[in-house]
Amino acid sequence: MLHKILPALAMSLGLALGAPALSEEVNADTVMATVNGRPITLGHMIVLKTQLPPEYQQLPDEVLFNGLLEQLIRQEVLAQKVDTISKRLRLQLENERRAVLASTVLEKAAQDAVTEEAIRKAYEAAVAAMEPVTEYNASHILVGTREEAEEIIRELEAGADFATLAKEKSTGPSGPNGGNLGWFTEGQMVKPFEEAVTALEPGEISEPIQTQFGWHVAKLNDRRERPVPTLEEMREELIAQLRQEVIEAAIEELVAKADVKRNEIEGIDPSVLSDLSLVED
């Protein structure tokens, strides 16, 4: 539903002049506007803000204030044009009410479960399960022929600087950077190159390596065990994981306890889902 109102909200925000000063004490029932006698309260505005996508919620309140009020006024004007609730609209409202209530239950369950202690335990478990990962830092010089690669190796053996030769002769995109490829792990480079580089000791130069890109001369600069991420680096991932686990567990538990009876209707054609005539008055 939000995707239908955001364009209008964006237009309203463009006209927003900031929040008005309120002289009296305000609460959720404070009436901000009336439309044909029907009130729009501050509470309506607060709830609408919570439904906005993150990029809108990050805007300052003084920017959002008049835009949200204008959006609610427009919605109320349009809503009042509905004289009767059709079967289709009634079913849609029932679905949306059901979805909102279900989301409220799951959000409460997730909030209660995602504590600092739970995050810490999830972090410790995740770190304990991590396999050591070796990272490699290498540089390369890419040329078109084996002969060119062999000539580069001879120049390096004679004392030439690897980075200087890469800048002068490499045809690869890393050439201007002295051929440095940064840190990578196994599986991130093409197989022949990876096998040659991971077999080197730090400081060693490879024999010519052929890949689909041409001929490489590689140098292993260093290797290390990938640092274990900190709790703060993993915090958002852990929270998302905990929330998902709690939500799935809550759904399974509540559905298992509920008295659910599924009616078996023989011969029903699944294509009936596309028959909108069934929900029209």
Could you tell me the CATH number of the domain that includes residue 180?
A: 3.10.50.40
234 and 205 in a common domain? no
Q: Give the per-residue SS3 of 8-59.
A: HHHHHHHHCCCCCCCCCCCCCCCEEEEECCEEEEHHHHHHHHHCCCHHHHCC
For residue 183, the cross-strand partners are 137
Do 123 and 233 belong to one domain?
yes
Residue 36: other Cβ atoms inside 10 A: 7
User: Does 120 lie in the same domain as 171?
Assistant: no
For the cut 90, the answer to whether the pLDDT of residue 264 exceeds it is no
Inside any domain, residue 180: yes
Neighbouring C-beta atoms of residue 119, cutoff 10 Å = 17
Do 195 and 221 share a domain, yes or no?
yes
Q: In this structure, is residue 50 part of a structural domain?
A: yes
Instruction: Say if residue 202 is in the same domain as residue 184.
Output: yes
Give the C-alpha separation, 169 to 161, whole Å: 12
Both 45 and 174 in a single domain? Answer: no
Residues 138 and 220 in one domain: yes
- Rounded Cα distance between 123 and 229, Å, is 10
Q: Supply φ then ψ for residue 144, to 5 degrees.
A: -90, -25
Tens digits of per-residue pLDDT, 63-122? Answer: 999 999 999 999 999 999 999 999 999 999 999 999 999 999 999 999 998 999 999 999
What's the structural domain count of the chain? Answer: 3
The alpha-carbon radius of gyration of the chain (Å, integer) is 31
Residue 281 lies in a domain: no
Beta-carbon neighbour count of residue 189 at 10 Å?
20
Does any domain span residue 220? yes
Judge if 66 and 182 occupy the same domain: no
Q: What is the pLDDT of residues 163-194, one digit of tens each?
A: 999 999 999 999 999 999 999 999 999 999 99
Whether residue 55 sits in one domain with residue 71: yes
239 contacts: CB under 8 Å, gap ≥ 6: 114, 119
**Residue 198 and residue 234 in one domain:** no
Question: Cβ distance 220 to 204 under 8 Å?
Answer: yes
Residue 64 maps to a domain: yes
C-alpha distances (whole Å) from 89 to each of 6, 70, 111 are: 21, 24, 33
The tens digit of pLDDT for each residue in 49-62 reads 998 998 888 899 99
Same domain, 140 and 209: yes
Reported confidence tier of residue 12, pLDDT bands at 50, 70, 90: low
Domain span at residue 50 reads: 2-81
What is the pTM assigned to this prediction? 0.59
CB-based contact 192:210 (threshold 8 Å):
yes
244 and 121 in one domain?
yes
Identify whether 200 is part of a domain.
yes
Q: Is residue 150 part of a domain?
A: yes
